[in-house]
Amino acid sequence: MFKICPNCGAHNTATAKFCTRCGTSLAGVVATAETAVQSAQPTSENEASTANTAAVSEQSSVPSSLTSSSAQNQPVTPQQAQSQVTPPDNSQQQVPPQPAGTRTQSQQTAQGPAPTAQPYQQADQTQQQAQTPPEEPNPTVEATKKYAGSYWRYLVDSIKHPATVTRPYHQYFGLTSLAITIVSLALTIALMTGSAVSSLPGAIASNVLMTFLKLVFLVAVLMIAVVAVYYLVVNGMLGDRRRSFLTFTTEYAFHCNWMVFFSVFTLLMQMLGMINIGSIFLIWLLLSLGSGLFVISGTYMLFTAQSTNRFDKIYAYLIVGILLVIVFLIIMTFGLSSILGGIGQGINDFGRSFNF
């Protein structure tokens, strides 16, 4: 019985744990008594010398007891016959059959390295590319798309049933509606006055533009102040503390979101050049309806509030009116003084340009 090394094909004793030629572990190799298929003679002197060395090492591994018993013509026991290994002939070395497609160490040395399997590499690269996860979308863009879609649903719901808020909405939707309204009206006025300002000298045009920006800022402050007055009365005097200021603004704008469509419509008419003497009446009508809805929305929010301190809503409405007058006077005093000063300066510059 002997063990055949799976790496180099050398014959080893049945009890050997490592190959005597290459040192490969023989722990999982089963001992066999069959003779291996004889292979072709070594093609080089190096292989022949390697086979001789293996044969000498195998001869030296035979137990001395078997050698002495054979010399004295003594009978050999079956155990001794199995452990005895006959060294192979130097001219015809027995090599175990190797799997197809494998090469011995000498053949690899003589023939050089195996060619690179480019098709397999390309397949691996393709597989790696397929396993690469797709690029994640930009979270800012996705959040903006989601916000725009939700805001559009908010507008549609407010147009269908402006008096009934059926679901909670994002707290910034109200400020978004006010911003769209103010910017649309500002752009409409800017386009209407742009042609006239372009024919004026540079200093006068700059003065008119600055006055226009002040007017837009004044309108924005006035709208926010109106919402704030209604919130303070509803939250403080009536005791309805269900909503924060941003949530209150969102519901306030929900009742008057028609003004968003009116302002955008007037801007589109101006951009398409459809504003003339006949359409000015329509524009002023739309602006009046938008302003009326804005005022009515505050009154509706006041009378639909849940009063917890039994304060009469009629008195609360009167207090709102007084506060709005005070706020309007304060804003107009500081804002209009600056605007009127700019207009006066523009008139003076215009007069000087004509040597008046």
pLDDT for the residue numbered 160: 92
pLDDT for the residue numbered 252: 95
**Residue 345: count of CB within 10 angstroms of its CB:** 15
pLDDT for the residue numbered 332: 80
Q: What is the mean pLDDT of each run of 10 residues along the chain (356 residues)?
A: 85 84 83 55 45 47 42 46 46 48 47 51 63 71 91 94 90 93 83 62 61 78 92 92 93 93 87 72 83 91 89 93 92 72 58 54
Is the full-model pTM beyond 0.85? no
Task: Dump pLDDT digits (tens) for 129-161.
Answer: 656 666 677 888 888 999 999 999 999 999 999
Reported as type and span, the H/E element at residue 2 is strand 2-4
C-alpha distances (whole Å) from 174 to each of 180, 267, 274, 277 are 10, 20, 30, 33
> From CA 5, how far away is CA 15, in angstroms rounded?
13
Q: What is the Cα 342 distance to its own chain's centre? A: 49
Reported as type and span, the H/E element at residue 12 is strand 11-13
CA atoms within 13 A on the CB side of 37: 5
Q: Scanning the structure block, which residue is given the tokens 């929305």?
A: 297
How big is the chain, counted in residues? 356
> From CA 224, how far away is CA 333, in angstroms rounded?
17
